[in-house]
Amino acid sequence: MLIKIFVRTFPSTEDCELFESILETRWPNLLQTVKGVRFRAMKNPQTPNVSVVLWEFPDNDSMKKIEKLIEENISKYVKTLLLKQSILLELLHKILVKLLFKNKSFL
């Protein structure tokens, strides 16, 4: 048996919870294609924006199949999250620039 641990840190608790809900709803169906694989999502209340997932694989072949599924499915979520963060940062930047030019004493 092989074990792999994935630790992901999110910018907020809400983002982490969204990720975990997707994990818990989508992965059971995806796992039906690979026999003998299990996962457990764990949470530390002191770090609610951190997701820890423990994967158990019967062999290396199964691990490779799941890693491919992770890349195909998780990367979509991570890219969406990064895009959301990028948009928020751009919006924050525009607001700050307007504030700075509007109120020069801000400098």
What domains lie within the chain, and their CATH numbers? 2-106 (3.30.70.100)
Position 34 pLDDT exceeds 80:
yes
Q: What does the pLDDT read at residue 73?
A: 75
CA atoms of 44 and 52, how far apart (whole Å): 9
Q: What does the pLDDT read at residue 107?
A: 47
Q: What does the pLDDT read at residue 61?
A: 94
Position 21 pLDDT exceeds 80:
yes
Q: What does the pLDDT read at residue 77?
A: 66
Position 60 pLDDT exceeds 90:
yes
CA atoms of 4 and 93, how far apart (whole Å): 39
Tell me the per-residue pLDDT of 83-101, one tens digit each, with 9 for 90 and over. Answer: 555 566 676 667 766 666 6
φ/ψ (deg, to 5) at 58: -75, -25
> CA 14 from chain center: how many Å?
11
The two structure tokens encoding residue 95? 């607001």
Position 6 pLDDT exceeds 80:
yes
Predicted TM-score of the model (pTM): 0.63
CA atoms of 74 and 44, how far apart (whole Å): 21
The gap between the terminal CA atoms of the chain, to the nearest Å, is 60
Tell me the per-residue pLDDT of 66-79, one tens digit each, with 9 for 90 and over. Answer: 888 887 777 666 66
